Amino acid sequence: MGHALIGEDAATTVLVNNVHANMLGPDGKKIGTFRTPTLQVDGDGFVVENMTLANDAGPVGQALALRVDADRVVFRRCRFLSWQDTLLVNRGRHYFADCYVEGHVDFIFCGANAVFERMAIRCLDNGYITAASTPFDHDHGLTFIDCRIYAEAGIQSYLGRPWRAHAQTTFVRTQMGTVVR
């Protein structure tokens, strides 16, 4: 195994941050979405297991729990918590298995080739689950297999919206219920 970050249990091994896109940086300008992650993974072949990654900034704008700018990155039995833009899978190939993610708007987004298997996806309010920006020369974008999408009664969300012209998002054998518009 290459480099890894492995916790004992996602319920008790928690990394949390409180940074959002509208905060001002040292230059007096807003820091923007891409500088808000609780964890940023830049190393190819990295593995994360049994952890919670949270950005508890709340409903104040984009606040990443995770940003991935690497290839062949694996997440197992992890939880990803935020309000907007929870998971930024920017580039590379990623695999998420038996994880939980929650958010409100575009909370799984960007241009990676990411597979989410047996993922629990919780919508916190009316919004959009995904915002794919799949590059034109990639065959696949965001792929969800055997997942479950759910929310509190009365909340409805769209599966996603394209962020770029060639956006690709696929749901296979995913339980959706009335939460999905």
What are the residue boundaries of the structural domains of the chain, listed by start? 4-179
106 catalytic per annotation: yes
85 is catalytic: yes
In this prediction, residue 140 carries a pLDDT of 86
For 30-88, what is each residue's pLDDT tens digit? 999 999 999 999 999 999 999 999 999 999 999 999 999 999 999 999 999 999 999 99
Q: How many other CB atoms are there within 10 angstroms of residue 31's CB atom?
A: 17
Q: What is the pLDDT of residue 174?
A: 98
Distances in Å between the alpha carbon of 12 and those of 52, 79, 101, 133? 8, 11, 16, 33
Report yes or no: 144 and 172 within 8 Å, Cβ to Cβ. Answer: yes
Residue 9: pLDDT band with limits 50, 70, 90: very high
Confidence (pTM): 0.95
pLDDT of residue 1: 54
pLDDT at 33: 96
One of 2.160.20.10, 3.40.50.2020, 3.40.710.10, 2.40.110.20 is the CATH number of 4-179, namely 2.160.20.10
Nearest to 15 by CA among 58, 63, 53: 53
For range 116-129, the mean pLDDT? 97
Residue 95 has pLDDT above 80, yes or no: yes
Residue of 9, 27, 44, 85 marked catalytic: 85
Catalytic-role residue among 106, 125, 137, 146: 106
